[in-house]
Amino acid sequence: MAHPWDNPDGSPLDFYHTPSWRIFRIMSEFVNGFSFLGNIERSVTIFGSARLPEKSPYCKDAYELGRRLALAGYTVVTGGGPGVMEAGNHGAWDAGGNSVGLNIELPHEQRINPYVRRSTSFHYFFSRKVMLDFSAEAYIFFPGGFGTLDEFAELITLAQTGKLEPDVPIILFGRSFWEPLTSWMQTVMLEGLHTIAAKDLTIWTLTDDLDEVMEIVKSGMLTQAQQRLARTGHEHPLPDEKLRHATRPMAGTEQ
């Protein structure tokens, strides 16, 4: 007699490759991810290339930033991989702070770095992207590849459409890397084709100064905490609040 879970032809059901099983796995990643993030407070997420070597000036800056953030009492969150991510975690680790990784296995280059104290892993890339989008109360982008650009575009779209709190800092670190892109947005997207509004170019701050980064993070975090305390009675976002932000309607008619 065939097992009730077998296919109609009697062959065993392959749970790992059937659509219904994948949907349940996706749901579990979202539930576990938001629950994991709900236990992280005063978090700052650092994005950047997995391929830059430790001796790169940007990795050195990411290490120093991670160290300063940890000393100031912030949790440093990264994708958990090598390069800039490892440098940020390393700085937080050496300062004795909270160092978190949201990891995924990618061919040839992604691995959990040794300076992550707490981590969670994802099977699906898009699940991990959503968690990174709502992982923090400030976001800092170092130079990187397509993945970094993808996350940056995602974050500024969420900010543009009202899915992020307006006082969440988004910082681009490294003028020589980011200025050609932001200049193109100004001249082509805004002035040439009018596909964005002037206010959209104020969503982020571009800088080469770690002191400025720290001041922006501190100011943005304080404002968010004060507003949240007045609105909800507590300073730090709860898991259900992060989920509500992720699923809230868009603001206006931007999209």
pLDDT one-digit tens code per residue, 127-166: 888 888 888 999 999 999 999 999 999 999 999 998 888 8
Domain of residue 158, residue span: 22-32+43-247
pLDDT at residue number 8: 58
Q: What is the pLDDT of residue 245?
A: 66
Tell me the one-letter amino acid at 18.
Answer: T
Specify whether the CB–CB gap between 167 and 223 falls below 8 A: yes
Lowest mean pLDDT among 100-104, 202-206, 227-231: 227-231
Between CA 103 and CA 111, with CA 107 as vertex, the angle to 5 degrees is 35
pLDDT tops 80 at residue 82: yes
Please indicate, yes or no, if residue 62 is contained in any of the structural domains. Answer: yes
| 101 part of a folded domain | yes
**pTM (predicted TM-score):** 0.87
CATH number at residue 28: 3.40.50.450
Distance between CA 21 and CA 35 in Å, rounded?
A: 21
- At residue 235, the pLDDT reads 77
Residue 140 lies in a domain: yes
Give yes or no for residue 106 having a pLDDT over 70.
no
So what's the pLDDT on residue 123?
A: 82
Residue 165 pLDDT: 83
Other beta carbons less than 10 A from residue 10's beta carbon: 9
User: To the nearest 10°, the Cα dihedral for 200, 167, 83, 182?
Assistant: 20
**Contacts of the segment 149-156: beta carbons below 8 A, 24+ positions apart:** 151/47, 152/47, 154/129, 156/200, 156/203, 156/204
What does the pLDDT look like over 84-95, one tens digit per residue? 999 999 999 999
Mean pLDDT is lowest, of 15-29, 42-56, 119-133, for 15-29
Report if residue 13 sits inside a domain: no
Residue 16 has pLDDT above 50, yes or no: yes
Stated as kind and residue range, the H or E segment containing 227 is helix 210-232
In sequence order, the β-bridge partners of residue 222 are: none
pLDDT at 211: 98
Number of domains in the chain: 1
The pLDDT assigned to 105 comes to 65
In a domain, 192, yes or no: yes
Q: How far apart are CA 98 and CA 72, in angstroms?
A: 11
The answer to whether residue 227 sits within a structural domain is yes
Least confident of 25-39, 42-56, 241-255: 241-255
Which pLDDT belongs to residue 3?
Answer: 46
Grade residue 17 by pLDDT with cuts at 50, 70 and 90: low
Does 2 map to a domain? no
The C-alpha atoms of residue 125 and residue 225 are separated, in whole angstroms, by: 30
Q: How is residue 255 written in tokens?
A: 């999209």
In DSSP notation, 71-91 reads: HTTPEEEE-S-STHHHHHHHH
Question: Per-residue pLDDT tens for 214-243?
Answer: 999 999 999 988 888 888 888 777 766 666
Instruction: Answer yes or no: is 7 within a domain.
Output: no
Between 157 and 4, name the one with better pLDDT. Answer: 157
